Amino acid sequence: MGGVGDDEPASKRMKLSSEELRRLSNGSPLKEPIVESSRDLMARPLQSEGGEEVVGTKGVIKKVEFVRIIEKALYSLGYIKSVANLEKESGIVLHSSIVNVFMQQILEGDWDKSVVTLHNIGLTDEMTIKSACFLILEQKFFEFLDEGKVMDALRTLRTEISPLCINHSRVRELSLFIVSPSRSFSVQSPKQGTSKARSRTKLLEELQKLLPPTVMIPERRLEHLVEQALVLQRDACMFHNSLDKEMSLYVDHQCARDQIPSSALQILQAHTDEIWSLQFSHNGKFLASSSNDCSAIIWEVDANGVLLKHKLSAHQKPISSVSWSPDDHQLLTCGVEEVVRRWDVSSGECLHVYEKAGLGMVSCGWSPDGKWIFSGLADKSISMWELDGKELECWKGQRTLKISDLEITNDGKQIISICRETAILLLDREAKVERFIEEDQTITSFSLSRDNRFLLVNLLNQEIHLWNIEGDPKLVSEYRGHKRTRFIIRSCFGGLEQAFIASGSEDSLVYIWHRDTGELIESLPGHSGAVNCVSWNPANSHMLASASDDRTIRIWGLNNLSAKRKDTHSNGIHHCNGSTRG
């Protein structure tokens, strides 16, 4: 029998391990008897072994498991001697000796012996044993084929693999390899794979996944547990807004408040009336604002701050919304129940005017490939236009309202708009499928997340609702605190990985919440009128812009930056009075 030298049946041996080590251990008392721990009843082991040793303060970490995964981690790092020492000192072995023999046999290609050893490890599940045998014999089969020993491979298939009576479809595939080891058949069939035997280490990994974790500790288990903890910490960090904040194992991760933009770095004064919409370009290099004064302004964002680039004054009506082209070279503006204009960003020229006879436009949006324009109309329909002005399609009926946002998803398929006072329409224009978000309150505005999975909805009753719009829309979170009584207030996603929600408010403050926890983390004073809209720079998680009835735009940044500004007033705020750049 395969040189294992171990006559004891394996199951007895496994249990012997934990008893053995209690005898071998220095007799350190139990930290906390697991059975009596009332803190975590769910963790009570099904089979009480009469108080296994535990480590840690909560009494849920079993010492044997803890040491074994440490040994595994050390082993993966290559510190074999350390593993041996640790095994000696703790009396806890990484793998029982029979498993070590098994692994050795696999790596050396002693297939027949390894199959025998496998049966002696003491597994209880018949299927697992068979599946493991199958994997081992498959390896034997392929190695024969690689050596050109076709008849040996056939014999293995016939006399060893097939009699296992499992995985017949794989047996089929294998039999085809016999007749054509070089896989000269049609390449279309993806399931054929390669005939070259994989490495024995790979085989060991596959076996490891198959066998119960108590027999063979899974690869990288300790690393996985640590990463799990780090991810949880990061998700719980409410101010996590900077990429370069590395995580350390020494302390729990927690960003300080100073990562959220909360200091007004600039005040932009160029509009002559209330500012209704604000939007950073996709690349974060520009900011567009539109106002009741019938103009829109393109601002340029650079290292020195935000400066006026172009004032676009051709509309005869107040401009309710703007939309950046996917490449940020063009901008759409929509006059209220008027026309939609397309502007060139670098020259400030108006390239095209979109209008429909007798019908005013109420909203505008770009298709994600930049080829088409969408627009809501005063008769509640939505139209789609080619850039040169040719109308391609029109969705009639109650698709939008006179005051509504319009968004197109990144795949170009879904059109989103407020279609009724209390409902938002998600229209799949290809599949012609309609989904709805139904609220109990009147909806005033909405915002689409960058990954298109979520929609932020502003309601009349001062609540902001976050909806998951994948599949059937589901309400996920609610945000409160800001004030809204008479006007349209807009909110947006922002920050690192859009982990924050920002909103304007009628009390002149800018509100910022942590998206996942719903906690209000900042309310920023400064404006002297209702803050109508906010936009968070997609390329700079530390820059937030807000626009107000006080006719100004405020650029918010991190606290420590203000000290570094060259031409600042004493209170550290940079004013820009709308003089155009050269």
Partner 1 sequence: MDVDPRLYEQMAVNDNDIHSIVLSYLVHNCFKETVESFIACTGMKQPSDHLEDMEKRKRIYQFALEGNALRAIELTEQLATNLLEKNKDLHFDLLSLHFVELVCSRKCTEALEFAQMKLTPFGKEQKYVVKLEDFMALLAYEEPEKSPMFHLLSLEYRQHVADSLNRAILAHANHPTYTAMERLIQQTAVVRQCLNQEHGKDVPQPFSLKDFLKS
Binding site for partner 1 (CB under 8 A): 150-151, 154, 157-159, 161-163, 168, 171-176, 178-180, 184-186, 188-189
Reduced to 3 states, what is the DSSP secondary structure of residue 73? Answer: helix
- Taking the least distance from each CB to partner 1, the nearer of 162 and 381 is 162
- Taking the least distance from each CB to partner 1, the nearer of 171 and 255 is 171
Residue reference for tokens 């027999």? 215
- Taking the least distance from each CB to partner 1, the nearer of 150 and 210 is 150
Structure token digits, residue 77: 């790092």
Residue 248 CB partners (closer than 8 Å, separation 6+): none
Which residue(s) pair with 446 in the sheet? Answer: 457
For the CB of residue 197, give the shortest distance to partner 1 in the complex, in Å.
18
Compute the distance between CA of residue 31 and CA of residue 275 in angstroms, rounded to an integer: 65
Compute the distance between CA of residue 327 and CA of residue 337 in angstroms, rounded to an integer: 27
Residue 29 CB partners (closer than 8 Å, separation 6+): none
Is the separation of the CB atoms in 310 and 329 below 8 Å?
A: no
For the CB of residue 130, give the shortest distance to partner 1 in the complex, in Å.
16
Which residue(s) pair with 140 in the sheet? Answer: none
- Taking the least distance from each CB to partner 1, the nearer of 137 and 364 is 137
Compute the distance between CA of residue 415 and CA of residue 356 in angstroms, rounded to an integer: 20
Is the separation of the CB atoms in 51 and 35 below 8 Å?
A: yes
- Taking the least distance from each CB to partner 1, the nearer of 102 and 144 is 144
> At residue 561, what are phi and psi to the nearest 5 degrees?
-75, -35
- Taking the least distance from each CB to partner 1, the nearer of 155 and 483 is 155
- Taking the least distance from each CB to partner 1, the nearer of 15 and 158 is 158
Amino acid residing at 258: D
For the CB of residue 206, give the shortest distance to partner 1 in the complex, in Å.
21
- Residue 359 carries which DSSP code? B
Residue reference for tokens 């509504």? 404
For the CB of residue 174, give the shortest distance to partner 1 in the complex, in Å.
7
Compute the distance between CA of residue 424 and CA of residue 405 in angstroms, rounded to an integer: 10
Strands (E), 295-335: 296-302, 305-312, 319-324, 330-335
Strand order in the sheet with 464-468: 443-448, 454-459, 464-468, 474-479
Residue reference for tokens 């539109």? 290
Q: CA-based Rg of the chain, rounded to a whole angstrom?
A: 33
Tell me how many helices (H) and strands (E) the chain has.
10, 31
- Taking the least distance from each CB to partner 1, the nearer of 184 and 194 is 184
Residue reference for tokens 């003089």? 579
Which residue(s) pair with 344 in the sheet? Answer: 330
- Residue 115 carries which DSSP code? H
The two beta strands, 500-503 and 491-494, are: antiparallel
Strand order in the sheet with 330-335: 319-324, 330-335, 340-344, 350-354
For the CB of residue 194, give the shortest distance to partner 1 in the complex, in Å.
16
Compute the distance between CA of residue 457 and CA of residue 12 in angstroms, rounded to an integer: 62
- Taking the least distance from each CB to partner 1, the nearer of 104 and 167 is 167
For the CB of residue 153, give the shortest distance to partner 1 in the complex, in Å.
10
- Taking the least distance from each CB to partner 1, the nearer of 107 and 176 is 176
- Taking the least distance from each CB to partner 1, the nearer of 102 and 177 is 177
Q: What share of the chain is helix, strand, coil (3-state, %, to 5)?
A: 25, 30, 45
For the CB of residue 142, give the shortest distance to partner 1 in the complex, in Å.
14
For the CB of residue 208, give the shortest distance to partner 1 in the complex, in Å.
27
- Taking the least distance from each CB to partner 1, the nearer of 107 and 154 is 154
